[in-house]
Structure formats: C-alpha cells, structure tokens
Amino acid sequence: GKLPDLELVRDIVNQAYERFADDRTGAVADYIPALARVSPDLFGISVVGVGGSDVGVGDCDHMFSIQSISKPFVFALVCEAVGAEGARARIGVNATGLPFNSVMGIELNADRTMNPMVNAGAIATTSCVPGKTAEEKFRFIQEGLSRFAGRQLEVDEEVYTSEAATNLRNRGIAKLLEGYDRMYWDALEATDIYTRQCSLNVTAKDLAVMGATLAGGGVNPITHERVIDTRNCRRVLAALATAGLYEQSGDWLFEVGLPGKSGVSGGIITIAPGKGAVSVFSPRLDEAGNSIKGQLISKYLSERLGLNLFASQ
C-alpha cells in the first residue's frame, strides 16, 4: 500500500490541524534554558511520501533544534559504519521502559548496553561515529543528517551553548558508561558532539523528509540519494519501536501502531514503512517530554491515513 491520494491526504491533514489546534495542555521544556524561551503555540504538521509527495500545514517551515529526533538518524549512520550487528553489540537495542535521561536503565541492565533512542545509548552511539577527531565526528553527523534532510543543516549556537552549559547529567551518564567500557570515544567529547547533534536546526518538513527516507528503505524521496542501506533501515525502525517514546513507547505503539521518535523541542516523527512519514512540531510537552499535540496528531493521522502496521487491512 501507499499513502492515500494527495488531495485526500491534504484534507485529512487539515482536519487534524483544526481538530487539535486549540489544545493548550502541557508546557515547553525548561531544563535547557534556550528551549524555555520558545513560543508554546507554534504548531505545524508535515507529511512526506516515499515518492516525494508533500503536504504541510501551519508552522511547518519554522526552525527548531532537532534534539532527540537526531538519535535514530545517527544510529542509522553508525549501523552503516560498523554494521547493524556491530552497533547492537556495542549499544544494545532492548526497550528500557524508563525516562530518556535515566541512569537506572544502565544500572539495571546486566551487560550495561542501552538503547540508541535514550540518552545513554545515544551518547554511546555518537561515540561510535567514524572520525579521527571530535571535529571530524561531528562533521560526519552533520553531513549524514543533512543527506537525510536533503539540505544542509546548521547548528543553533544559542541552543548548543545553553545545553552545553547545563548538561551535567548527560556528562555523568557518559562517564558511568565509560566505567563499564560502553563508551567508544572520550566520554566528555562524545557528550559534547551529542549536544551539538541535538542542536542542529530542522523544520517539521525536514523531519518528514528524514523520516520518509527511513520509510523508503534509505533513499531520500526529494534528492533520490541513497543515504543508508535498505537492510539497515528496518533495524533502525525496529530499535525505534522499542524506545522512541521512552517509557511511553508501549502506549505509543498500542495507539499509533508505528515506530516514532520524539524530542524535547516539540517535534515528533512517525514512520510508515513503504509509505512515508508524518512529522508534527508543537512544543507543549507531557511529563515524559513528548509533544502532546504531536502524539494526538500522530494517532489521528495513523488511523485516518490507514498506516497502522498491525492492521490486517
């Protein structure tokens, strides 16, 4: 199957926007000072098909830092670089059932691996990126994520500086992993590269293109460039399904029936393999740090566009 016809997708996306536009529940993230200053009522939806069809409504061209939505894409690049099995051996792919910044997730797991979609596993993932210096590693990430987006992505220096000054918990997580031989580069440098990767600016449209690249087996639907191998795509999507929404990943899969990834700046992407991707930007978050409107819209669109992976027809 494919996405419904473009006109129908447009109608359904507009209906989704109208239906949830007035929802004012939740609050913007404030543990990163620069994110606390974002306007809470920004709201955009973008849908991109694997064939390049593209529907957007609202603030879908507004730039915001990618935050945790960088995680699946960096994991994808590491799977390309060291092989999916190599990535699993180093990082782990099991569900954590715990918050994104959990330390207990490391402590409770006998082999001290994590999941690439939570901070500990994501910093470990970043530590596996090819490159002889931190600068080279960051360049590799920036260029790789830009290939997913089909345009050059740049760092939001204000967000980077703000998070770099306050990310003691992430540095602690990286040091803890280092003690367990689960860091594959200097722990503090890896945390810094990870913080920069989280500060890359994207729009909801960029995220939908990035997601549609994973939905399409690794080929960017706009530039037609192959970004990653088809076989690695399905591994990345499986890892996403286990922990993309942290401790709410089970609820998410139950309701939406698709792999998804959230970030604390308010983005959510949902990937429908073989079909395309939905992305939502709305910075009001719930307790787990997931966009509230993002979840409502993702659920609504999964149903109305017929995307649920577990549906028999």
- What residues form the annotated binding site? 68, 119, 163, 170, 194, 246, 264
Shortest separation between residue 125's beta carbon and ligand GLN, angstroms = 12
**Would you count residue 160 as binding ligand GLN (CB under 6 A)?**
no
Binding-site size, ligand GLN (CB under 6 A): 11
**Would you count residue 263 as binding ligand GLN (CB under 6 A)?**
yes
Q: Which residues are annotated as a binding site for substrate?
A: 68, 119, 163, 170, 194, 246, 264
**Would you count residue 68 as binding ligand GLN (CB under 6 A)?**
yes
3-state secondary structure the chain: CCCCCHHHHHHHHHHHHHHHCCCCCCECCCCCHHHHCCCCCCCEEEEEECCCCEEEEECCCCCEECHHHHHHHHHHHHHHHHCHHHHHHHHCCCCCCCCCCCCHHHHCCCCCCCCCCCHHHHHHHHHCCCCCCHHHHHHHHHHHHHHHHCCCCCECHHHHHHHHCCCHHHHHHHHHHHHCCCCCCCHHHHHHHHHHHHCEEECHHHHHHHHHHHHCCCECCCCCCECCCHHHHHHHHHHHHHHCCHHHHHHHHHHHCCCEEECCCCEEEEEECCCEEEEEECCCECCCCCEHHHHHHHHHHHHHCCCCCCCCC
Tell me the residue nearest to ligand GLN as measured from the CB: 68
Q: Which residue, 170 or 302, is less far from ligand GLN as judged by CB?
A: 170
Binding-site member from 74, 187, 264, 307 for ligand GLN (CB under 6 A): 264
**Would you count residue 198 as binding ligand GLN (CB under 6 A)?**
yes
Q: Which of residues 6-65 bind ligand GLN (CB under 6 A)?
A: none
Shortest separation between residue 207's beta carbon and ligand GLN, angstroms = 13
- Per-residue contact flags (x/-) with ligand GLN for residues 90 to 109, judged by CB under 6 A: ----------xx--------
Q: Which residue, 80 or 163, is less far from ligand GLN as judged by CB?
A: 163
Q: Which residue, 257 or 266, is less far from ligand GLN as judged by CB?
A: 266
Residues that bind ligand GLN (CB under 6 A): 67-68, 100-101, 119, 163, 170, 198, 263-264, 289
